[in-house]
């Protein structure tokens, strides 16, 4: 089946961009789309005017080109996508890997795993989905997955409703489960999987049949290595895990949380046949790696100083009407959070909605603080569950105007965004 979509270099996922830590990247984007676009370099603590989100960086008009130039200060697994409207729910995303030549890592081969939920060209368009969620005149026939129409269920791991949209397909590296990509390795090799969730409304629970995995990084930054059976990856999050490959053919399954569907790819190290496309390995129901299980590696724990700014983000909203807010306001009339350069700030998310939100801050990584006072992982995107209060710490060391938003594309489009502005 051939579907039309929007993509980088006609590829889904887009082409890999790879650099060494400290490099300056120059990426020229030629916009052949019908609309203005931007490229946001998700997770990278880059200069504000290259962030790819207005107002700090102007969008690229249709037919125009722009060269993003920025250095990459931290190694890790990142990605890029537009910051314009619903375009993220088309095929516009690519992986960006920053290597540290001084740290080759304890693995033999690398497998980049990009997860996505897919409707463009096969189901309702992202705009039709959004209009339907907003109460427009969509029939059930066009919106097979609308909540209340039996499409999306609940998730204990996400504390309630799993999502708003049931997609026609879920993809790993651009392929449906019946036509998966295959990654080849040798038995005994240590495989580093760099898992990126480029989806718009789907958290994925990811497991490799017949294997346990060791979580080594999340959102680019190392964690104390933690053994799990599966990881839960919200939109915008990244998890790096290492597995020691067994001998045979194994399904890498990304279960669409609460949606009763899977994406998959295959790991092949020897003879064997793949299970059927809907197969769910038992590891999916084992120990699932989430923020609660992880702690930052000691060398990346943010310096604890007494915080001299306390920021708050109250998350609210509901499905009917489809309305999502930060601090009681949508982005069009938001009151930005403010910090001064050099401050150590806390940022407390309080979620009073019935829905989880993967909250993403541009230009910084933050230190998740666990409720018991212990140190969580360093991240740029963190899932805030219903009725949860979650505090992160950050150092205000990158001046500018930085977006803070929910990484559910439809919540974002409904206005669930504010900014963190540096002030004199």
Residue ranges in contact with Cu ion by CB under 5 A: 357, 406, 408, 411
Q: Alpha-carbon distance 200 to 163, whole Å? A: 10
Nearer to Cu ion by Cβ, of 255 and 351: the residue is 351
* Minimum distance from residue 368 beta carbon to Cu ion (Å): 18
* Minimum distance from residue 385 beta carbon to Cu ion (Å): 11
Please name every residue paired with 171 in a beta bridge, in sequence order, or none if there are none. Answer: 116
**Three-state DSSP state, 48:** helix
Contacts of 230 (CB under 8 A, 6+ apart): 205, 206, 207, 213, 283, 284, 286, 287, 288, 289
% helix / strand / coil in the chain, to the nearest 5? Answer: 10, 45, 50
Nearer to Cu ion by Cβ, of 269 and 383: the residue is 383
* Minimum distance from residue 411 beta carbon to Cu ion (Å): 3
Q: Is 305 exposed, middle or buried, given 0-12, 13-18 or 19+ CB atoms closer than 10 A?
A: exposed
Nearer to Cu ion by Cβ, of 290 and 409: the residue is 409
Residue 215 and residue 226 in contact, taking contact as beta carbons nearer than 8 Å: yes
> In 3D, which of 356, 93, 118, 358 has the Cα closest to residue 234?
358
Nearer to Cu ion by Cβ, of 216 and 351: the residue is 351
User: Quick one: tokens of 350?
Assistant: 């309080």
* Minimum distance from residue 384 beta carbon to Cu ion (Å): 9
Per-residue b or e along 173-195, where b marks 16 or more CB atoms closer than 10 Å to that residue's CB? bbbbbeebeebebeeeeebbbbb
Element (H, E) at 5: none
Nearer to Cu ion by Cβ, of 42 and 411: the residue is 411
Nearer to Cu ion by Cβ, of 223 and 233: the residue is 233
Residue 68 CA to chain centroid, in angstroms?
Answer: 21
User: Quick one: tokens of 400?
Assistant: 């500018």
Q: Is 123 exposed, middle or buried, given 0-12, 13-18 or 19+ CB atoms closer than 10 A?
A: buried
Q: Is 386 exposed, middle or buried, given 0-12, 13-18 or 19+ CB atoms closer than 10 A?
A: middle
Helix ranges (H only) for 199-321 are: none
* Minimum distance from residue 16 beta carbon to Cu ion (Å): 28
* Minimum distance from residue 269 beta carbon to Cu ion (Å): 39
Nearer to Cu ion by Cβ, of 249 and 406: the residue is 406
* Minimum distance from residue 358 beta carbon to Cu ion (Å): 7
Nearer to Cu ion by Cβ, of 206 and 406: the residue is 406
Nearer to Cu ion by Cβ, of 212 and 329: the residue is 329
* Minimum distance from residue 408 beta carbon to Cu ion (Å): 4
User: For the CA atoms of 383, 387, 388, 394, what is the dihedral angle to 10 degrees?
Assistant: 80
* Minimum distance from residue 359 beta carbon to Cu ion (Å): 8
* Minimum distance from residue 80 beta carbon to Cu ion (Å): 21
Nearer to Cu ion by Cβ, of 29 and 406: the residue is 406
């Amino acid at each position: 089946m051939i579907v039309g979509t929007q993509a980088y270099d006609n590829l889904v996922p887009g082409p890999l961009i790879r650099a060494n830590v400290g490099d300056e990247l120059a990426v020229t984007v030629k916009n052949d789309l019908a609309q203005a676009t931007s490229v946001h370099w998700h997770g990278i603590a880059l200069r504000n005017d290259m962030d790819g989100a207005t107002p700090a960086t102007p969008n690229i008009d249709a037919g125009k080109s722009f060269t993003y130039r920025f250095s990459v200060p931290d190694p890790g697994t990142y990605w890029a996508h537009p910051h314009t409207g619903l375009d993220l729910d088309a095929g516009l995303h690519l992986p960006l890997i920053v290597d540290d030549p001084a740290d080759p890592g304890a693995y033999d081969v690398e497998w980049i795993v990009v997860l996505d939920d897919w409707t463009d060209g096969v189901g309702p368009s992202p705009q039709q989905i959004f209009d339907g969620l907003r109460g427009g005149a969509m029939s059930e026939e066009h919106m097979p997955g609308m909540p209340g129409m039996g499409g999306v269920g609940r998730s204990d791991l996400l504390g309630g409703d799993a999502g708003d949209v049931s997609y026609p397909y879920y993809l790993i590296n651009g392929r449906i489960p019946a036509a998966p990509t295959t990654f080849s390795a040798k038995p005994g090799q240590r495989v580093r999987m760099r898992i990126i969730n480029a989806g718009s409304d789907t958290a994925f629970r990811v497991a490799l049949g017949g294997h346990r995995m060791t979580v080594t990084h999340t959102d680019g930054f190392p964690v104390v290595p933690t053994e799990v059976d599966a990881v839960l990856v919200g939109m915008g999050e990244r998890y790096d895990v290492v597995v020691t490959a067994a001998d045979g053919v194994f399904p890498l399954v990304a279960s669409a949380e609460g949606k009763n569907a899977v994406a998959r790819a295959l790991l092949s190290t020897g003879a064997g046949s793949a299970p059927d496309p809907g197969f769910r390995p038992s590891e999916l129901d084992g120990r699932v790696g989430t923020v609660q299980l992880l702690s930052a590696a000691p060398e990346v724990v943010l310096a604890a100083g007494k915080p001299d700014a306390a920021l708050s983000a109250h998350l609210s909203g509901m499905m009917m009407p489809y309305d999502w807010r930060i601090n009681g306001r949508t982005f069009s009339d938001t009151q930005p959070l403010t910090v001064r350069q050099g401050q150590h700030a806390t940022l407390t998310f309080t979620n009073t909605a019935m829905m989880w939100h993967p909250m993403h801050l541009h230009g910084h990584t933050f230190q998740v603080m666990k409720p018991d006072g212990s140190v969580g992982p360093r991240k740029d995107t963190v899932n805030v569950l219903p009725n949860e209060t979650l505090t992160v710490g950050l150092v205000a060391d990158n001046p500018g105007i930085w977006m803070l938003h929910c990484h559910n594309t439809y919540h974002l489009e409904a206005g669930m965004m504010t900014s963190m502005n540096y002030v004199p």
